[in-house]
Structure 1
């Protein structure tokens, strides 16, 4: 099994990398503010409350100075404002600070949650409108991470980091001004220590970031193992590899723990150094400040206020290291989200829009000298000069060995991909002349591996026609031979099918998929080996349901079991991307040394051996 998020070249793509602080990356970060625009007044009000909150916080040490100096003056018999009055002022400032802080947190949470909900909706909308090639080159875990981990990182930035960053900057600026006002000599002494702290912070910071990145990568490995194991749980159990997977996850987790503990060691050293620097500076400032108090150039209250302001300034500077790290993560997350938002999407329109008269299909389909290679494997030619014609209502069967290009025909029909050469025509019109949504609304796919959504049977059938009535749903289920087994469940059509339809058998899932297709009432039907994974009993029931589905519809049946397509109007035999034979069942059997005849003979031999 593959490990972690990998790009096409096989190299690891870290789960939550940090981006460098560059001009281009900062421009990318402006994406966040475009989503804040609808809530700009709440955001601006939040900024105002940040300023007010910082102002009241920085006013507190000033009044503390007044309180101490007032008490000292009164003890010396000098006239001064009563300490009780100053204490009441301080209580009033504290009350204001509580109010300002509440509105600061509330407004930023309000703006952040709403803006990020808009962004999540936009990213999801953009993601599901991507062409199939986009999904072919990316893993589901990587894409879900974009909506979960990356957008959560951006959300944290808007709701918390941005407010703390602005608050820290204001605290730093106001604090620096006030300590110089109180004592220039003390401020100069304190700031002389700053370069040492900054240099050590950079050295420690680089090492910590590297270890954090390695830890995140290893943890991504562990999470990928969990995801892959759960997705392939039937394989794990069938091969009795539970303990193998437990061991694999344990080893990956232990490595992540080892890296995290090593990272914690360095972070501990860094925090210890910061604390030593801050408190060492405070001791130095207090020692020098006492000499100024003795000399009469600074009051005791002024020294106290200076120490408190120094703690505020030091705390703000220490907090910037973590905020900068969070900011880098946010830039990285923004970059990856922007990648999705920048990529071209399919021209999908509102599905509620009815099919226009000019776009209604009769069902004629033509592959005209079509050649195709998948974008990720351009050197491998899947189809080569393929020509197929289907009249309205005809049943076209496509057979051939594995890898011949059968499923690629289905992908091109549904316009998941576009031919590299040649033309795909519907009713004589080029495929790209018909709006994509209008075209797909008139087509239906019944795949080999039916994926049901985790809701009820009713919801899964109605997926073919959202808003269908219960009567329409039941009629479709009857035609698909699904109504009886559905009603055998205690909850009937309200039965929850479980994730990916795991609570239903293969034959039951197929019949629900057929009911879904019947409800859609398509002009063109694509059956991609719809019965190949079923047992004989299920196949006969499903085949009968398929016959009901194919009536009066142009049908392309990609078949593995040749017994299911004997009555097809035309059988196309593919081999290595070429159409090598074409005709009815009887016509193809009459060909000496024909591929279809050979395949049919092999299947008859296998069937006789099974009997």
Structure 2
């Protein structure tokens, strides 16, 4: 998946509403706000010392005409002092802005992640992980760069432009007007032209990347290429893309040539025009001395460079405002009522589950009724199996039980109490789920098992691993429980991941257990070990078993057959097989005829 580049970030219009949103950043500065304002003060001092430099340099040059060595020496000392002060002010300006930014953004990152992780499943079902990751990385980085340097640089350039024009007007109003008609226009034109060339160069890079994709695809699928004798086709495809790259690159080279000609003729020509007009005014006596002319040229250079830089900085600020708006959109999302600061001891519930006339559709697909009038009861300690074709609503029942989504109508009761009356932490703290596709975190086996009970002792972790039939393979690793499982548990086999997930659930000791096709993707040997572990896990608790393999649920206390969102059949394995032309009987005949 392509990552968001900083240049790809969208810009926002700088209006009152957007700027009001940006000021919310200061809410997260807490006790660090003073650093930003003190940094602004040092920024003003930096701008003031920078504006004094061309004036004093002009006065130093004028000492040549007056042959005043003492005055020249004094001015030189003042200039060195100003340079020292500018260095001193710049150091504190940067240090303060960085300190303010890092502390503020640390608070925003924590607040953003804390809010994000507490958002309901309805939010995550409508958002892509890449987009959310971009908010935390690319958007925060854009805000960081802007607060650290862009705003300060923008204000400094603005001070140089305003201050420079005022100083120029005191030297010669006519020359100032002439300079303002030429230099800023040329500088801004150079920025626009340069941005166009950068965009064109990016297109060339994109085309080169596309040609590399062809190479990658061809080499990865070289067996197919050879088998179909399509070498000629791949060569033609690659050659066509390379020809496009060549055409674009040549065109880009021409544009860069135009840009170089523009800089040489227009930008330097503008400076020559200003200097020529200044010399003529100096000769006519309107400008007093060569020193004032040099000061004027330096101020003009400052203003031209600032006009060119401020346009780019403004664009960066627009991106930062857009990034801020997107970050605060996430912070404004309403989270679930979860205390994410510490783990509270969970009061145990008994585990009786009742669905009464439950109807449900996913918020992202309101036109599809997933569950229709679903009613059943699972008493304490019972094993209730849910079977049926894909899309019948089996996994949806487990999601509703965990209160990932709100039901449309009907009631879900736990121990004869409405599920919505339970505290979410209390409710979910009494449940465990062992899914088909177990995702482990990238730490050690010990950390993954302890995820079910973060304060578990070593003895409790070992006992859970033993009951889950995981202890033997864990002890087979050189590092045992300290073995790193890799990203998403990639270093472990499917059966090993399942048994770690079962150990995690055992450690949590839930009242209600949800098994979502926990053995469907395993080989026979792994399935046997996992099934034994699941039998240990299901003892003394209410179990909701979602299964495709009917052999794993023959001993269930009740089997519910879902079809098109409704419970079409219910009963024990033996009872369901007696239903003539029943859905369960047909599924059973299909599966067992394969063996």
Q: Which moved more, 1:271-280 or 1:530-539?
A: 271-280
Do structure 1's residue 352 and structure 2's residue 342 form an aligned pair? yes
2:416 to 408, 428, 434: 428
Contact 1:5–1:142 under 8 Å retained in 2: no
Aligned to 1:539: 527
Distance 1:240 1:451 in 2: 33
Distance 1:155 1:440 in 2: 37
Distance 1:144 1:408 in 2: 27
Aligned-residue offset at 1:98 = 1.4
Aligned-residue offset at 1:281 = 2.6
- Flag structure 1 segments of 5+ consecutive residues without an equivalent: 7-13, 231-235
Do structure 1's residue 309 and structure 2's residue 302 form an aligned pair? no
Q: Which moved more, 1:540-549 or 1:265-274?
A: 265-274
Distance 2:475 2:411 in 1: 46
Q: RMSD in angstroms over aligned alpha carbons?
A: 3.5
1:60 to 49, 53, 60: 53
Q: How does 1:253-402 map to 2 (within 5 A)?
A: 273=262, 276-298=265-287, 299-350=289-340, 352-355=342-345, 357=347, 360-402=348-390
Aligned to 2:24: 31
Aligned to 2:478: 490
Distance 1:372 1:255 in 2: 53
Do structure 1's residue 22 and structure 2's residue 15 form an aligned pair? yes
1:55-94 per-position Cα deviation (integer Å, ceiling 9, x unaligned): 11111111111211122212xxxx6743222212211211
Aligned-residue offset at 1:213 = 9.7
1:350-398 per-position Cα deviation (integer Å, ceiling 9, x unaligned): 36342565xx421011111111111111111111111121112211111
Aligned-residue offset at 1:269 = 5.5
Q: How does 1:104-253 map to 2 (within 5 A)?
A: 104-193=93-182, 196-197=185-186, 200=189, 204=193
Distance 1:253 1:340 in 2: 43
**CA spacing shift, 1:450–1:188, aligned 2, 3 Å:** same
Contact 1:70–1:81 under 8 Å retained in 2: no
Distance 1:266 1:119 in 2: 43
1:510-547 per-position Cα deviation (integer Å, ceiling 9, x unaligned): 00000011111111111100000011111111011011
Distance 1:249 1:436 in 2: 56
TM-score of the superposition, structure 2-length normalised?
0.89
**CA spacing shift, 1:202–1:88, aligned 2, 3 Å:** closer
SS at match of 1:463: helix
Distance 1:420 1:504 in 2: 40
**CA spacing shift, 1:351–1:300, aligned 2, 3 Å:** closer
Do structure 1's residue 87 and structure 2's residue 76 form an aligned pair? yes
Aligned-residue offset at 1:34 = 3.0
Aligned to 2:430: 442
Distance 2:32 2:178 in 1: 45
Aligned-residue offset at 1:159 = 0.9
**CA spacing shift, 1:519–1:252, aligned 2, 3 Å:** farther
2:43 to 40, 50, 53: 50
Distance 1:546 1:214 in 2: 56
Aligned to 1:11: none
Q: Which moved more, 1:59-68 or 1:32-41?
A: 32-41
Aligned-residue offset at 1:467 = 2.3
SS at match of 2:410: strand
SS at match of 2:594: helix
**CA spacing shift, 1:548–1:462, aligned 2, 3 Å:** same
Distance 1:517 1:492 in 2: 20
Aligned-residue offset at 1:332 = 2.2
**CA spacing shift, 1:24–1:258, aligned 2, 3 Å:** farther
Distance 1:442 1:568 in 2: 21
Aligned-residue offset at 1:204 = 4.9
Distance 2:127 2:30 in 1: 32
TM-score of the superposition, structure 1-length normalised?
0.86
